[in-house]
């Protein structure tokens, strides 16, 4: 099969091979036609190489699925090349009917034959007419009409493998890893991008759309009879036209746009005659007195009105874009599909640590262990057994058994690692929420992004079992104290963001973990929303010694000879600082050669450098707050 690159290469050769092609860059279409006339009449300027290019272009176009269905011959290729040459040279050339008549190979044809050939370019979607709309379709006044190269042809000749891109969207893999209707929507969206908006100037584009519609229709009909798309079509007694009409109207609604009856008809019709006939047929099918009630009645069935799906139809298609077909087959594929669709909001974090890998002070370790135990067996720790009502007003068991946690305290003490340990102990994936993807400079967009994030969290918790753990790192970037005065540090927009979080956390299912080093800037209402709160303090001597031991691995030459108890007593650093000290010390010792080994002296050089920085300070960072110390919020001394 001819590749799209081979086709592009031969078309470029036809445009730029001869030096005089560059010299004639400013020639009119009439000049170019005169040159072709001389060549056809046997002028010495006829290039055998050019004829060979033309033959090659015809052959390649018949072999490549991007062009083969257009049935291009030598005359088609020549005119397409002329139009494309204008386009690539930065000049939009519209081909008028008078210019078309001057094409030398058409001289022996009757006017009727010439008109048929001229219109065939438009009907096949090779060239697009420029004219006036009349009654919803193009007024076909051929002598006054001009045409120019279509979006589809430009895309192909510029090297886009349109066919390959569309086939990838509706591959078996895409149908498996996405909700049933999603590949269909994506396919039609990409097709409109390549082939042009059917709303544009009443242009009929049914030839190219029809070709790719048939490919998708055959794909859908190859599925098992119990496939959701097959069931959807059967339930509503849809044929080919019904299905694509309904999905196209839904797609335009998704685009925050609308499609009118004329635009929909132009997707199927190839000319004005078909357009008029289809208008009658569509009105008989889809009007409020029609045989198929997919659309709301009213002005949508006038050419100037926009079509709108019934609420039931819209709801059913919406479900088919969010609910997965293969609920049991591959939960990992389903999860990755959700993450792909969410864009930059989420990222999957590798979980490869257990509770034994985490070194905390004794109280912190006990609280974390208790929380994990409760999450593993929620039915054993149901507070209703003791007559206690859950904090949430919801009766949903998933919400009642959910858990929100706040891990706060000194930097580098293992808060993020703890989230990974919790996910690992529960046998779940860990999904990190990217705070930077939530913030947006445009007014109101941050709130939209946050609502979208929570919507995805709810859908993932519903669809994926066991549901992943969600981690909001450095939550103080979002969850800071609300302003209560005009002169407050935050704006009404920030207050709106806080309120969204407060409302969502009240009924959020699953496991949600937030971490912060700046808890003193949190709004007090947020602390009440979190079920469990664990403060991470600087390690005590015993914990520090264990952390030194974790990082001074047996694989490091000389590490076994270093006294970790001594280091724990003298340098009670956090895990993050200890890791940095060990890495720097190892880098220094390696410089001594192949037989080098790590020594206590290497460790202490960098430990002393970090010692001053590791001391706690009273420096205030982030949003200003009048709240009291976090310990006071929890009723501590």
Residues 277 and 169 in one domain: yes
Does a structural domain hold residue 455? yes
Nearest to 122 by CA among 3, 208, 36: 208
Residues 194 and 295 in one domain: yes
Residues 307 and 183 in one domain: yes
With contact defined as beta carbons under 8 Å apart, do 198 and 245 qualify? no
pLDDT of 252 over the 50 cut: yes
Q: Strands (DSSP E) along 33-162, which ranges?
A: 95-96, 127-130, 133-134, 137-138, 146-149
Lowest mean pLDDT among 284-288, 312-316, 323-327, 384-388: 323-327
Residues 400 and 422 in one domain: yes
Lowest mean pLDDT among 33-42, 411-420, 434-443: 33-42
Would you state the structure tokens that stand for residue 496, as one six-digit string?
Answer: 């709106």
Q: How far apart are CA 410 and CA 539, in angstroms?
A: 10
Residues 310 and 348 in one domain: no
Residues 152 and 167 in one domain: no
Does a structural domain hold residue 428? yes
Residues 275 and 207 in one domain: yes
Residues 311 and 237 in one domain: yes
Q: How far apart are CA 221 and CA 31, in angstroms?
A: 52
Taking only the tens place, the pLDDT of each residue in 520-578 is 777 777 777 888 888 888 888 888 898 898 889 889 999 999 999 999 898 888 888 99
Q: How far apart are CA 153 and CA 567, in angstroms?
A: 72
Residues 77 and 149 in one domain: yes
* Number of compact structural domains in the chain: 4
Residues 192 and 252 in one domain: yes
SS3 sequence, 474-505?
A: CHHHCCCCCCCCCCCCCCHHHHHHHHHHHHHH
CATH label of the domain that carries residue 400: 3.40.50.300
Q: How far apart are CA 442 and CA 515, in angstroms?
A: 27
Q: Strands (DSSP E) along 301-416, which ranges?
A: 346-349, 403-409
Mean pLDDT of 499-514: 88
Band of residue 171 on the pLDDT scale cut at 50, 70, 90: very high
Would you state the structure tokens that stand for residue 609, as one six-digit string?
Answer: 């450098």
Q: How far apart are CA 473 and CA 406, in angstroms?
A: 10
Lowest mean pLDDT among 23-32, 459-468, 591-600: 23-32
Model pLDDT, residue 476: 82
Q: How far apart are CA 168 and CA 183, in angstroms?
A: 10
Given 297, 320, 343, the domain boundary residue is 320
Rounded to two decimals, the pTM is 0.51
Model pLDDT, residue 459: 86
Model pLDDT, residue 97: 67
Does a structural domain hold residue 517? yes
Model pLDDT, residue 120: 84
Q: How far apart are CA 317 and CA 312, in angstroms?
A: 9
Mean pLDDT of 236-264: 85
Given 521, 536, 551, the domain boundary residue is 536
The DSSP-derived string for 82-94 is HHHHHHHTT----
Query: Vertex 478, ends 472 and 482: CA angle to 5°?
Result: 140
Band of residue 63 on the pLDDT scale cut at 50, 70, 90: confident
- Residue 389: phi and psi, rounded to 5, are -85, 145
Range(s) of the domain holding residue 609: 541-614
Residues 197 and 261 in one domain: yes
Q: What is the mean pLDDT of the chain?
A: 76
Residues 136 and 237 in one domain: no
Does a structural domain hold residue 632? no
């Amino acid at each position: 099969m001819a590749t799209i690159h081979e086709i592009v290469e031969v078309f470029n050769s036809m445009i730029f091979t001869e030096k005089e092609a560059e010299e004639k860059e400013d020639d009119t279409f009439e000049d170019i036609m005169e040159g072709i006339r001389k060549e056809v009449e046997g002028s010495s300027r006829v290039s055998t190489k050019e004829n060979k290019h033309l033959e090659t272009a015809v052959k390649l176009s018949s072999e490549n699925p991007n062009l083969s269905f257009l049935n291009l011959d030598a005359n088609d290729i020549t005119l397409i090349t002329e139009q494309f040459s204008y386009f690539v040279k930065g000049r939009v050339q519209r081909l008028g009917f008078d210019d078309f008549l001057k094409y030398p190979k058409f001289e022996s044809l009757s006017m009727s034959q010439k008109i048929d050939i001229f219109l065939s370019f438009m009907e096949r979607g090779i060239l697009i007419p420029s004219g006036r709309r009349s009654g919803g379709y193009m007024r076909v006044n051929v002598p006054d009409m001009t045409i120019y190269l279509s979006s589809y042809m430009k895309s192909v000749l510029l090297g886009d493998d349109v066919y390959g891109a569309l086939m990838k969207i509706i591959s078996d893999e895409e149908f498996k890893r996405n909700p049933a209707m999603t590949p269909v929507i994506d396919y039609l969206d990409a097709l409109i991008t390549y082939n042009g908006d059917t709303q544009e100037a009443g242009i009929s584009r049914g030839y190219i759309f029809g070709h790719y519609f048939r490919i998708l229709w055959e794909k859908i009909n190859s599925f098992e009879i119990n496939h959701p798309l097959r069931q959807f079509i059967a339930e509503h007694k849809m044929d080919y036209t019904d299905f694509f009409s309904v999905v196209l109207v839904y797609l335009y609604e998704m685009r925050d746009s609308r499609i009118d009856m004329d635009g929909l008809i132009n997707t199927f019709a190839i000319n004005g005659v078909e357009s008029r006939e289809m208008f009658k047929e569509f009105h008989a099918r889809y009007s409020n007195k029609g045989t198929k009630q997919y659309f709301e009645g009213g002005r949508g069935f006038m050419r100037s009105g926009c079509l709108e799906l019934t609420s039931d139809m819209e709801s059913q298609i919406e479900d088919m874009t969010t609910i997965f077909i293969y609920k049991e087959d591959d939960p990992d594929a389903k999860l990755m599909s959700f993450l792909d669709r969410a864009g930059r909001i989420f990222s999957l974090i590798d979980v490869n640590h257990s509770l034994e890998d985490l070194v905390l002070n004794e109280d912190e370790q006990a609280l974390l262990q208790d929380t994990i135990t409760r999450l593993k067996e929620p039915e054993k720790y149901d507070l209703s057994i003791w007559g206690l009502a859950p904090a949430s007003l919801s009766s949903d068991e998933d919400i009642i058994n959910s858990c929100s946690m706040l891990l706060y305290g000194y930097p580098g003490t293992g808060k993020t690692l703890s989230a990974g340990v919790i996910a690992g102990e529960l046998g779940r994936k860990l999904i990190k929420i990217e705070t930077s993807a939530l913030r947006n400079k445009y007014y109101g967009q941050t709130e939209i992004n946050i609502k979208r994030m929570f919507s995805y969290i709810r859908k993932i918790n519903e669809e994926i079992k066991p549901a992943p753990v969600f981690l909001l790192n450095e939550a103080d970037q979002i969850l800071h104290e609300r302003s209560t005065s005009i002169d407050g540090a935050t704006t009404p927009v920030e207050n709106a963001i806080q309120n969204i979080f407060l409302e969502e956390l009240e009924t959020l299912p699953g496991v949600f973990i937030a971490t912060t080093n700046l808890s003193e800037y949190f709004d007090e209402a947020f602390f009440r929303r979190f079920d469990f709160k664990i403060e991470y303090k600087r390690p005590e001597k015993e914990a520090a010694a264990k952390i030194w031991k974790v990082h001074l691995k047996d694989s490091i030459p000389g590490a076994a000879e270093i006294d970790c108890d001594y280091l724990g007593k003298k340098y009670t650093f956090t895990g993050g600082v200890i890791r940095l000290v060990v890495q720097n010390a190892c880098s220094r010792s390696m410089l001594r050669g192949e037989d080098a080994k790590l020594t206590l002296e290497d460790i202490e050089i960098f430990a002393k450098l970090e010692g001053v920085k590791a001391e706690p300070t009273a420096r205030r960072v982030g949003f200003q707050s009048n709240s009291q110390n976090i310990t006071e919020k929890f009723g501590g001394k």
